[in-house]
Structure 1
């Protein structure tokens, strides 16, 4: 899956079909995690998990997501401080212009 922040494709590519915009919000704890939770999750790439969620939410036919934008916010709850990452983008089917 190609994921790009631009809506302009390379000259040799064209959009064959386009789907409705998709959006996901992923929560990441950024405050001190408990010892056990921190140990079990030490190799996680939570930012990649957020991007993977966006890709998974695209229609199966799509082979790219264009115009990807993101925003972040933080909020503190009794159980900790969390970063919320929101991704939006437009799933498309792209192909070579020669096809």
Structure 2
């Protein structure tokens, strides 16, 4: 994820998981140690993580991922996602 990492809430860890072949990317936010738990992707609600699906199978979203600092000024580092096989119209 780069040197800055990814976090929605201070003190909580975040992890990106990729299923590039299926064009899915999930960002999971959770706790460590005694507060850690198994998180089902179906239970993601925006506070504990999110699932990003490409418009088209095979786009390979998440092929490249980078932290890019706080672009929109909300105090949270932003992430750029690449989709290597995405088609661009126009």
TM-score (normalised: structure 2): 0.32
Q: Which has the higher strand share?
A: 1
* Greater Rg by CA: 1
- For normalisation by structure 1, the TM-score amounts to 0.30
More helix, by proportion: 1
